[in-house]
């Protein structure tokens, strides 16, 4: 274990054009704080997603927070360990799956005779119209959250050159 306090950037990364972000420096403080912070950020992000319809926030903000937690992993642990925890192809999978599920949720009311995203026409979400709209909004928030999570992590991996 070696500690470096000089620049804040990992050794060998500042100003290197092609090495990418594969190497990191190992600091006990950074590791412990990251391992403590990431689950808390994710729990708060899921809180923001699931309470999106009656408090500030929603799918987009929660998804951004989930992506930020993965980026904290990537920045603090380096590629090998963070790719083991969140493989780089999960980003595109989550983004594509979230988009697909959201599109299905939007088109499903049209099948049953409503407008696009008109949740009260989906018959199996509940008995009353209000209940159906409640569950529809909640599902849309969750799908948007996963889509934003995956898309932003994929953008980060493409930027840092780790997603090939």
- Asked if 152 interacts with other proteins (CB under 8 A), we say yes
Q: Which two tokens stand for residue 93?
A: 């999978």
- The secondary structure element, H or E, covering residue 67 is helix 59-85
| DSSP 8-class letter at 128 | S
Q: Is 71 in the site for other proteins (CB under 8 A)?
A: yes
Q: For residues 117 and 136, give the distance between their C-alpha atoms in angstroms, rounded to a whole number.
A: 8
Which of 113, 94, 81 has the alpha carbon at shortest distance from 152?
94
Binder among 24, 49, 59, 65 for other proteins (CB under 8 A): 65
Judged by CB under 8 A, the stretch of 15-23, 25-33, 89-97, 129-137 that binds other proteins is: 15-23
Residue 41 CA, chain-centre distance (Å), reads 11
Q: Three-state DSSP class for 22?
A: coil
Least Cβ distance, residue 1 to other proteins (angstroms):
23
In angstroms, what is the minimal distance from the CB of 7 to other proteins? Answer: 8
- Binds other proteins (CB under 8 A): choice among 68, 94, 105, 122: 68
Q: Which residues bind other proteins (CB under 8 A)?
A: 7-9, 13-17, 20-21, 48, 56-58, 60-61, 64-65, 67-68, 71, 75, 152, 155-156, 159-160
């Amino acid at each position: 274990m070696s500690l470096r306090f000089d620049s804040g950037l990992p050794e060998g990364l500042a100003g290197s054009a092609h090495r990418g972000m594969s190497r990191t420096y190992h600091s006990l403080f950074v590791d412990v704080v990251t391992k403590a912070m990431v689950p808390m950020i994710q729990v708060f992000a899921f809180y923001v997603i699931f309470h999106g319809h009656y408090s500030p926030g929603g799918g987009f903000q929660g998804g951004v927070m989930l992506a930020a937690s993965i980026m904290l992993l990537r920045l603090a642990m380096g590629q090998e360990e963070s790719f083991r925890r969140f493989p780089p192809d999960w980003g595109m999978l989550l983004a594509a799956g979230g988009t697909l599920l959201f599109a299905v949720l939007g088109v499903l009311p049209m099948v049953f005779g409503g407008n696009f995203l008109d949740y009260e026409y989906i018959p199996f979400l509940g008995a009353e119209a209000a209940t159906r709209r409640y569950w529809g909004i909640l599902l849309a928030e969750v799908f948007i959250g996963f889509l934003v999570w995956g898309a932003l992590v994929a953008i980060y991996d493409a930027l840092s050159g780790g997603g090939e």
